[in-house]
Amino acid sequence: MPDTGLLTPVAIAGIDHTILDQNQLAGYRFADETSFLTDSRQHFKGVILLQTCNRVEILVHGTGAALTDYLHSLGRTGFTLYEGDAALRHLLALAAGTKSMIIGEDQILGQLKRALLLASECGTTDPVTDICINTAIHAGVDIRAATHINRGAVSIGSAAVRLAEELLGSLDGRNILVVGGGEMGKLVTQALAEKNLRAIYVTNRTYNHAVELAQEIGGRAMRMDQLYPCIALSDVVISCTAAPHAIITAEPLAATMNERFWPLDPTPRKLILIDIAQPRDTDDACRGIPGVHLFTIDDLRSVSEKNMEHRKDEAAHAGELIEQYLPEFIRLYNRTAAGDLIAGLYTWAESIRVRERDKALGKLDSPDPRTLAVIDDLTRVLTKKLLADATLSIRASAECTDITTARKLVDAITRGEQVCFLKHD
Asked if residue 24 belongs to a known ligand binding site, the reply is no
Asked if residue 180 belongs to a known ligand binding site, the reply is yes
Asked if residue 365 belongs to a known ligand binding site, the reply is no
Query: CA 387 to CA 414: how far, in whole Å?
Result: 11
Asked if residue 52 belongs to a known ligand binding site, the reply is yes
Asked if residue 304 belongs to a known ligand binding site, the reply is no
Bridge partners (DSSP) listed for residue 48: 59
Query: CA 60 to CA 129: how far, in whole Å?
Result: 7
Q: Which residues of 10-35 are buried (b: 16+ CB within 10 A; e: fewer)?
A: bbbbbbbbeebebeebeebbbeebee
Asked if residue 278 belongs to a known ligand binding site, the reply is no
Residue from 53, 122, 132, 230 carrying the catalytic annotation: 53
C-alpha distance from residue 397 to each of 218, 294, 414, 418 (Å): 59, 58, 17, 17
Asked if residue 224 belongs to a known ligand binding site, the reply is no
Asked if residue 328 belongs to a known ligand binding site, the reply is no
Asked if residue 77 belongs to a known ligand binding site, the reply is no
φ/ψ of 242, rounded to 5, equals -105, 20
Asked if residue 225 belongs to a known ligand binding site, the reply is no
Asked if residue 150 belongs to a known ligand binding site, the reply is no
Q: Residues 6 or more apart from 128 whose CB is under 8 A from it?
A: 8, 10, 45, 46, 61, 333, 336, 337
Our answer to whether residue 53 is catalytic in this structure is yes
Asked if residue 181 belongs to a known ligand binding site, the reply is yes
- How many Cβ atoms are within 10 Å of 409's Cβ, its own excluded? 21
- How many Cβ atoms are within 10 Å of 387's Cβ, its own excluded? 17
Asked if residue 80 belongs to a known ligand binding site, the reply is no
Q: Identify each DSSP E strand in 17-104 by its residue range.
A: 47-52, 55-60, 80-83
List residues forming the annotated binding site for substrate. 52-55, 100, 105-107, 111
Annotated binding site: 52-55, 100, 105-107, 111, 180-185
Residues marked as binding for NADP(+)? 180-185
Q: Which residues are catalytic?
A: 53
